[in-house]
Amino acid sequence: MRTAPTILHLDMDAFYASAEQASKPSLRGKAVVVGGIGPRGVVATASYEARVFGVHSAMPIGQARRLAPNAAYLVPRFRLYREVSEQVMGLLRELSPLVEPLSLDEAFVDLEAGEAAWDAASARLVGERLRDEIKAVTGLTGSVGLAASKMLAKIASEEAKPDGLVLIVPGTERAMLGPMSVRTLPGVGPATGDHLRRAGITTVEEIAEAGEDELVRLLGKSHGASLYAMALAHDDRPVVAERDAKSVSVEDTYDVDIHDRVRVRTEVQRLAERCVQRLRGAERSGRTVVLKVRRYDFSTLTRSETLRGPTDDPAVVREAAARLLESVDTTGGVRLLGVGVTGLADYTQEDLFAQARAQAEADAHAAEGVREGEAEGAGGAGDEGQAAEDEVVEAADRRWVAGRDVRHEQFGHGWVQGSGLGRVTVRFETPYSEPGRVRTFRTDDPALVPAEPLPLVEGGAGRCAAREPDVGSGVV
């Protein structure tokens, strides 16, 4: 492990909710919940004002509404979040060539590799300057952790929240970690935490005192040994600039269980198409197709099929997904469907030609004696399910969901507060204005049209390039 705290971990504060508050002056300082607004949606992010009421990420949206009925509930605007994330990651890459993004709002930075810091004093200066630059460029706040290892830097940033900086001086790690809960350590979830608690272990110091042999007996060789090393503050993992994606997938959660088998097949075909679009967007191909089905009773099934070679052919992925669906019983209803591709490889034309030939042979063989049900499920058109983050649905052009950007010929830029009974309520304001006025229109008012998000800081990055509005039934 290093002798200087030159690994930085940045975690943006309540990222989605903070971006919405920065975008909408009337919501600043108020409870905001971002997530799926349908009855089966889940919370993606809650503002700190909403967390006071007990609302947190991954909570069912219905439960959140019961805890904080007066909060603003908004659909995510992923294109805006990605734009802001790119600005933040750009600032990080100015510090070092070794930046390891973990998500849109979180990343590790190796300050030593960029010669940006070499001791505790220089690291602290870099961290403070970074927080100021993020605020100036995006209008948002981020929390910074600095330490000699990735694990400790992440723990430090968590301790710094919100809008703070914590630096762990090398040599003080054991003393700092000791009284903390076992749940502080990476990989210790509710199940492992309960298992350790039953054994009388509730703090990191007690993990260290238990010894490696006891932890291996309780948790198994791999998990026990790694947990013991973390309790001793041992972590030699390097910051890796390029995190190679292991899979590409898409999934949708439905407001109402799907019972119609034909509809389920149609949804799987549509998801397969979207999955391939993402696969091609990443310029990758994949060898294993995975189907995910969550049934009415919350039981989740996964099925997979490994192809003869990697592909990004939508027909091949559709057919594989359809075959996998035939092995799943959906009689009681389906609440979630997903299609993914794993075993990723770089795009090669030879792979695609080989796969196309193999698929043609399989099609010819299947045509001789295919069952009626299989033939019916092999095709499929239509778009009956709820759209998700990156899907474009023409019908959604007139669907006014809470949080969506709009523009009116007379009143300018605003956002949807709510809609129903043929009416849509809009608050007209921008990130740079005072809280705006609210007006109500007919949903078919020709003067009201969807708009693109504005940058959070005036004179900042340009508008999001994509013109399609973000819609979705839930965040998964």
pLDDT of residue 244: 67
Question: Is the distance from CB of 403 to CB of 77 less than 8 angstroms?
Answer: yes
Q: Which residues have a Cβ under 8 Å from the Cβ of 460 and sit 6 or more positions away?
A: 87, 137, 138
The residue ranking higher by pLDDT, 297 or 323, is 323
pLDDT of residue 65: 94
Question: Is the distance from CB of 206 to CB of 200 less than 8 angstroms?
Answer: yes
With left for phi above 0 and alpha for psi between -120 and 50, is residue 300 left, alpha or beta?
Answer: beta
Checking if the pLDDT of 296 tops 80, the result is yes
Residues recognised as catalytic: 106
Tell me the average pLDDT across 281-289. 87
For 414-470, the pLDDT digits (tens) are 999 998 889 999 999 999 999 999 999 999 999 999 999 999 998 765 444 333 333
pTM, to two decimals: 0.73
Transcribe 132-144 into DSSP letters: HHHHHHHS--EEE
pLDDT bin (cut points 50, 70, 90) of residue 107 is: very high
The residue ranking higher by pLDDT, 365 or 86, is 86
Checking if the pLDDT of 84 tops 50, the result is yes
Q: Which of 119-133, 298-312, 390-404: highest mean pLDDT? A: 119-133
Largest CA distance in the chain: 74
pLDDT of residue 45: 94
pLDDT of residue 255: 78
pLDDT of residue 197: 92
Q: Which of 232, 234, 320, 231 is nearest to 275 (CA)?
A: 320
Give the separation between CA 399 and CA 387, rounded to whole angstroms.
Answer: 12
Question: Is the distance from CB of 153 to CB of 144 less than 8 angstroms?
Answer: no
Question: Is the distance from CB of 110 to CB of 238 less than 8 angstroms?
Answer: yes
Segments in 309-393 forming alpha helices (H): 314-325, 349-366, 372-378
pLDDT of residue 369: 35
pLDDT of residue 396: 36
Give the separation between CA 2 and CA 125, rounded to whole angstroms.
Answer: 19
Pair type for strands 72-74 and 32-35 = parallel
pLDDT of residue 187: 81
Give the separation between CA 476 and CA 336, rounded to whole angstroms.
Answer: 10
Token pair for residue 185?
């350590």
Tell me the average pLDDT across 131-137. 96
Checking if the pLDDT of 282 tops 50, the result is yes
The residue ranking higher by pLDDT, 33 or 390, is 33
Tell me the average pLDDT across 228-257. 86
Question: Is the distance from CB of 429 to CB of 24 less than 8 angstroms?
Answer: yes
pLDDT of residue 253: 84
Q: Which of 396, 386, 394, 375 is nearest to 262 (CA)?
A: 375
Q: Which of 371, 292, 281 is nearest to 324 (CA)?
A: 292
Checking if the pLDDT of 383 tops 80, the result is no
| Residue 316 φ then ψ, to 5° | -65, -45
Checking if the pLDDT of 391 tops 60, the result is no
- Calculate the average pLDDT of the chain: 84
Distance (Å) of CA 337 to CA 27, 266, 267, 312, 328: 34, 11, 8, 20, 12
Q: Which of 263, 264, 289 is nearest to 276 (CA)?
A: 289
The residue ranking higher by pLDDT, 312 or 355, is 312
Q: Which residues have a Cβ under 8 Å from the Cβ of 363 and sit 6 or more positions away?
A: 319
- DSSP lists the bridge partners of residue 337 as 252, 293
Question: Is the distance from CB of 336 to CB of 388 less than 8 angstroms?
Answer: no
pLDDT bin (cut points 50, 70, 90) of residue 346 is: confident
Residue type, 358: A
For 35-51, the pLDDT digits (tens) are 987 777 889 999 999 99
Return the number of other C-beta atoms located less than 10 Å from residue 384's C-beta: 12
Tell me the average pLDDT across 247-251. 89
pLDDT bin (cut points 50, 70, 90) of residue 222 is: confident
The residue ranking higher by pLDDT, 232 or 296, is 232
Distance (Å) of CA 397 to CA 11, 96, 339: 34, 42, 26
